[in-house]
Amino acid sequence: MTASTPGRLHPADLARVAAVGLRTRRTRAALSALGIAIGVAAMVAVLGLSASSQAGLLAEIDKLGTNLLTVAPGQSLTGQDARLPLQAPGMIGRIAAVEAVQSTGDTKANAFRSPLIPGLQTNGLTVNAASLDLPAAVRTTVAEGRYLNAATANQPVAVLGSAAARRLGIARIHPGMRIWVGGQWFYVSGILNPATLSPEIDSSVLVGYPAARRYLDFDGHPSMIYVRARTGHVEEVHRLLGATANPRNTGEVRVSQPSAALVARAAAESALNGLFLGLGAVALLVGGIGVANTMVISVLERRSEIGLRRALGATRGGIRLQFLSEAVLLAALGGAAGVALGVSATVVYASVKGWATVVPVLAWGGGLGAAIAIGAVAGLLPALRAARMPPTEALRTA
């Protein structure tokens, strides 16, 4: 008479048995899976939102262009504020690799909604002389009304930056609208949209250079020059700007690239990912402890089942694999739910912000893999405990 071979479960049967073990304790299994889901959702959402934010920021940078350079006065050797020469914009425009040159000049005047407002309440507004093609150079547009032209640049006419209009309480342009600038009335002809690369324009009241000289005693010296370099020649133009703008005192010129600030902001946002990923990992660990607790209780409650299966020929390895499979399946279900929640949160938030939705493979793949790994580790000890349980003792205590 031949000895019978101990029974072994087929993978499909093993999955079905593991699922039955979870279905008979749905509430407990759901609560345990919830902890896993929260941790995975946090990790997926953090990586997804970060990737979507960076994609949106890079798209914005591409739209605004990385070829904008700004030239501003620095400080003299004595520590005083320097000034750019009157001829600086014209000299910069002679550089072969420069596409466009526009400028603004600080008039030192203040702007108010009416002359009845105290002079100290400036709301942080500046009044600047501006060249006629400034919006195109800084890649902004007119939200209301019209920008300055050759005729209005000679008259007491002003255009408001987006923040300046808001602080003055002006949302719409109507005929005859005026503001109090430098002790006299200026008509308002337009409002600009936000200038992302040049936020100083947002809080400015812009007037034409001729009008600034005539009505505001402006000396004509530019305080900021906006330079668009040809694609592929940004570094070359950057090196030439200081010496070109002020050949006598090159050290008194500050040259910068505004788009670099946006790139730095994207890097700073990425630096915070580690903190939020750590919080997600803590939630995932707590979920793993919940899975382990669920499996320990499950082993205690199912001693009769363990004893009966052992008596019918199940091996210790089969029992161990059964309970380990339940833990892995429980964690995998929680991980899948967490991935779905994290992706949904990313899609909703990216849609609200107008970003392209980007969920890296590392986010959902890593989250699901981490959940399964934690489930396996959490279920290992209960599985070993179930496998070591003698069948006679298991049936006796049932």
Distance CA 357, CA 308 (A): 52
CA distance 157 to 256: 30
Structure-token pair, residue 204 = 């400015």
Structure tokens at 29: 């299994």
Name which of 92, 72, 131, 86 is nearest 228 in CA terms.
92
C-alpha 89/C-alpha 91 separation (Å) is 6
Mean pLDDT of 101-130: 92
Are 311 and 397 in contact by the 8 Å Cβ rule? The answer is no
CB 342 within 8 A of CB 42: yes
Q: 3 pLDDT exceeds 50?
A: no
Question: Which tokens hold the place of 49?
Answer: 């939102």
Separation CA 325–CA 291 (nearest Å)? 12
Residue 319 confidence class, pLDDT cut points 50, 70, 90: confident
3-state SS, residue 46: helix
- Indicate if the alpha-carbon torsion angle 238, 240, 246, 250 is positive or negative: positive
**What are the distances in angstroms from CA 39 to CA 134, 280, 283, 370?**
49, 5, 4, 10
DSSP state of 248: S
Taking CA atoms, 293 is separated from 28, 289, 322, 325, 380, in Å, by 10, 6, 16, 15, 12
- Please give the Cα distance from 193 to 144 (Å, whole number): 8
Amino acid 35: pLDDT: 78
- Judge contact between 208 and 148, C-beta under 8 A: yes
Q: Alpha-carbon distance 227 to 138, whole Å?
A: 9
Share of the chain above pLDDT 70, in %: 79
Q: What is the DSSP letter of 255?
A: E
* Strand 126-130, strand 204-208: pairing: parallel
Give the whole-angstrom CA distance, residue 175 versus residue 276.
52
DSSP-based helix, strand, coil % in the chain, nearest 5: 55, 15, 30
Partners of 157 in beta bridges: 187
What's the mean pLDDT in 208-233? 94
Whole-number pLDDT of residue 4: 42
Number of Cβ within 10 Å of residue 136's Cβ equals: 14
Instruction: For residues 240 and 259, give the distance between their C-alpha atoms in angstroms, rounded to a whole number.
Output: 19
d(C-alpha 128, C-alpha 148), whole Å: 13
- Which residue would you say has higher pLDDT here, 299 or 200? 200
Question: Which residues have a Cβ under 8 Å from the Cβ of 281 and sit 6 or more positions away?
Answer: 39, 43
What is the model's pLDDT at position 1?
A: 41
DSSP per residue over 326-338, as a string?
A: HHHHHHHHHHHHH
Q: Which residue from 12, 66, 396 is spatially nearest to 231, judged by alpha carbons?
A: 66
pLDDT tens-place string over residues 42-93: 888 888 887 787 777 767 766 767 788 999 998 877 777 889 999 999 999 9
pLDDT at 358 over 80: yes
Q: Among the ranges 7-16, 62-71, 258-267, which has the highest mean pLDDT value? A: 62-71
7 beta partners:
314
| CA 348 vs CA 49, 343, 365, 390: distances in Å | 10, 9, 20, 53
Q: What is the pLDDT of residues 142-155, one digit of tens each?
A: 999 999 999 999 99
CB distance 192 to 153 below 8 Å? no
The answer to whether 320 touches 18, Cβ cutoff 8 Å, is no
- The pTM assigned to this predicted structure is 0.62
Model confidence over 115-125: pLDDT tens digits? 998 888 888 89
Among left, alpha and beta (phi > 0; psi -120 to 50; other), residue 21 is alpha
Which helix or strand (DSSP H or E) is residue 62 part of? helix 26-64
